Amino acid sequence: MKYSVLMSVYINDKAEYLKPCIESMLNQTAKPDQFVIVEDGKLASDCGKIIEDYKNGNPELFEVVKLEKNEGLANALNEGMKQCRNELVARMDADDVSLPTRCEKELKMFEKYPELAVCGCNIDEFSGDFYKTNLSRVVPSEYDDIIKFFRRRQPFNHPTVMMKKSVVKKCGGYIKLRRKEDFDLFSRIVTAGYYVRNIDESLYLYRADENNYKRRKSKENMKAAIYVYKRHWKRNGCSFLDFLIITSAERFFWLAPDGVMKFLSNSMLREKTN
């Protein structure tokens, strides 16, 4: 089965992270048929040079989409999705690493379940050395567990997913939010009745640093969360009680001291890596 890789790069992405990221997708045991990179506005010159070198070295594989200004991840992914020539599209973030068998195992899930629309996996978080991970974000793998989990929490690790382009298009793509655009898209896919799963393995290394916590704690993140949770409730993705609980939690995280927020995020929403 063929698939496209979809990745967005913006000005804050770093060259020392970008190259290992791209290489991790090129070194998959199941090679991509296409690699779509969206330049979301002006980039740091070294990142632009890396992308140019990959494009020149393999023009049949790499498709580069240049956007004049940064309008957020949702817009960049929508524009990139238009250029994906394959039905299956694998997401990737520009500072992380996919383990070699990630895409092969996701493809096998689509072969096993032809009705499958979205498949992701667990992640191990790291800062600095790729191999020094200490926390994992484990998500439910079975469909029924995903539906139950989705009542209050995001059941997919967004950059790990492989998804069907046709389903994303039918469900309206990403809406233009600066945060939580993935939650809203997956909510529309799941509440529309599509079949989804996760692989119960950590096949993706996610770069977690202080900026991650700052973004989660921002007022912008809190407002976006309440907006998409309300939409989720309105389409019967959760009960009104669930809606009240998760929006109250978002307000608490926004108001809580940084240390409290970080402790609760690590202890309640993540697991220690084996």
Identify the three-state secondary structure at position 240. helix
Whole-number pLDDT of residue 9: 97
> What would the pLDDT profile of 109-155 be if each residue is shown by its tens digit?
999 999 999 999 999 998 766 666 678 999 999 999 999 999 999 99
> What would the pLDDT profile of 125-134 be if each residue is shown by its tens digit?
987 666 666 7
Q: From the CA atom positions of the chain, what is the Rg in Å?
A: 18
DSSP state of 31: -
Cβ pair 43, 9 in contact under 8 A: yes
Q: Which residues contact 116 (CB under 8 A, 6 or more apart)?
A: 109, 110, 164, 195, 196, 197
Structure pTM? 0.89
Cβ pair 60, 30 in contact under 8 A: no
Whole-number pLDDT of residue 62: 98
> Which structure tokens are listed for 133?
């991970």
Cβ pair 160, 120 in contact under 8 A: yes
